[in-house]
Homo-oligomer: A and B are copies of this chain.
Amino acid sequence: MEKQLELREIGRRAADAERVLAGLPSMKKDNALMAVADAIAADRELILYRNKLDVDAGREAGLSAALLDRLLLNPQRFDALVAMFHKLAAMPDPVGRILSGTVRPNGLKISKITVPLGVIAMIYEARPNVTADSAALCLKSGNAVILKGGKEAINSNVALVNAMRKGLQNAGLPQDCVQLVIDDADHTRSNELMRLNEFVDVIIPRGGAALIRAVVENSTVPVIETGVGNCHIYVDKNAQIDMAARIVFNAKTSRPSVCNACETLLLHKDIAGFALLRIKERLDTMNVEMVGDEAVCGILPGVAPATEEDWATEYGDYKISVKIVKTLDEAIAHINKYGTRHSEAIITENYASAEKFIGEVDAAAVYVNASTRFTDGEEFGFGAEIGISTQKLHARGPVGLEELTSVKYVIRGSGQIRE
């Protein structure tokens, strides 16, 4: 990327590239994915060096350890990033699938086939692997992508996008299938991107609640809202307490900064005393801070009281809020009130409780006896994901290749007219 183009020109170029990309057979797209992987691998030293510049600058600017970790491309992550292109190249093409078909009484043959969404804009924060993941998923699904990454990762993103564009060129595809937008401090270009309906079909924000809110508020382009996760685990009176403790520990501590981590624990009153001690014991090994309702504080006097705000908070940290409920209904009501419709789990051995929880909890992913941490495109078998949708329109849950397509109705006739 040399000099910054006008945003409308970036949009126009994306639309032009998309017209080529949309019509490509799978083999050409898969070859391009491998050429891009090769180009990234060839620039390995440069990309890691540029990433080090970002990490050093971030450290100097006082970024948190969690943010610095998200920013970091170590050799292992770099290898995983290159491998992801090869993995996607081996997956079936999501475009051109016939979803359904029918012959109407008048002889019209109607088929519903998948097509690319078109031009996708990504607005995201520090993680440079989002740059590569988004480009790879979009290329495989025939979409052109406009990337607006966070300023903390600017050196990494420029190096990655330059490599990817070289790879596209090597494969004989338009470089403008992947473009990077660099914004100023006022977000002028992000704001313009959010209203570029003429060229952009979908916008996907990834990052903290403030970023996502800004995109939802300001965008006139259709949005796939991702990621805020205030996830709950409810331990039913018929739960295996050992299993509950193991799952809560995993869901809270295996990676507290991500959206599928557990933030609130709900305990049925009949098992609350015993379960609380067992779970606290596990969480203490990772120094997880606990706040609780009155009943919890009664059992564990050292625990601070939870405020109304706690129930609504995604800590993203080694902290958990705990509440004791009288019934399954109370647990479901709490989740539907405070949850963000992301991932919710019940731990139970009771069949009716499990089915009721599955039916009545309103969320993208509802678990029985498993950790909420599995809500992830790769864990679901999608190969990779471009984010996790918490809205109901278009895509809900992990957004993979299938969710990056739209449809077209093809109607083959023999002269039919409508009476």
- Which residues of A pack against B, CB within 8 Å? 19, 22-23, 102, 104, 108, 110, 115, 117-118, 197, 201-202, 216-217, 220, 222-225, 240, 243, 246-247, 249-251, 254, 336, 354, 358-360, 362-371, 373-375, 379-381, 391-394, 396-397, 406-418
Contacts of A373 in B (CB 8 A): 417-418
Residues of B within 8 A of A414 (CB): 369-370
Q: Which residue of B lies closest to A260 (CB)?
A: B418
Given contacts A240-B415, A250-B418, A417-B250, contact A396 B381 (CB under 8 A): no
- A392 to B246 CA separation, bound complex (whole angstroms): 43
Point out the residues of chain B lying under 8 angstroms from A407, CB to CB.
Answer: 396-397
Say whether B396 contacts A406, CB under 8 Å: yes
Contact of A409 among B118, B366, B391, B393 (CB under 8 A): B366
Find chain B residues with CB under 8 A from A110 CB: 380-381
Nearest chain-B residue to A356 (Cβ)?
B23
Chain B residues with CB under 8 Å of A362's CB are 22, 115, 118
In the assembled complex, the CB of A376 is this many whole angstroms from the nearest CB of chain B, namely 8
Residue of B nearest to A203 (CB): B393
The binding surface of chain A is classed by DSSP as mixed
In contact, B247 and A415 (Cβ under 8 angstroms): yes
Q: 7 smallest A-B Cβ distances: which pairs? A: A370-B413, A250-B417, A392-B406, A394-B394, A373-B418, A222-B393, A365-B409
Q: Give CA–CA (A363, B22) in the complex, Å.
A: 13
Task: Report if A393-B394 is in contact (Cβ < 8 Å); known contacts: A374-B411, A415-B369, A418-B374.
Answer: yes
Contacting residue for A368 out of B246, B359, B412, B417, CB 8 A: B412
A-B contacts, 26 of them at CB < 8 A, read A23-B359, A104-B379, A197-B216, A202-B392, A216-B220, A217-B220, A222-B223, A246-B417, A364-B408, A365-B409, A367-B412, A367-B413, A368-B411, A368-B412, A369-B416, A370-B411, A370-B416, A370-B417, A371-B417, A374-B411, A374-B418, A375-B409, A380-B409, A393-B406, A396-B406, A397-B409
CB distance from A347 to the nearest CB of B (A): 9
CA distance A177 to B313 in the complex (A): 31
Q: Which of B19, B117, B250, B360 contacts A392 (CB 8 A)?
A: B117
Cross-interface CB contact of A413 among B197, B369, B406, B408, cutoff 8 Å: B369
Measured between beta carbons, the chain B residues less than 8 angstroms from A217 are 220
Considering the chains assembled together, what is the distance between the CA atoms of A254 and B418 in angstroms?
8
CB of A411 within 8 A of CB of B243, answer no
How distant is A255 from chain B, measured CB to nearest CB, in Å? 8
A197 to B340, CA, bound (A): 13
Contact B220 A393 (CB under 8 A): no
- Kindly list chain B residues whose C-beta atoms are within 8 Å of the C-beta of A397: 407-409
Residues of B within 8 A of A251 (CB): 417
Q: A413 contacts which chain B residues (CB < 8 A)?
A: 367-370
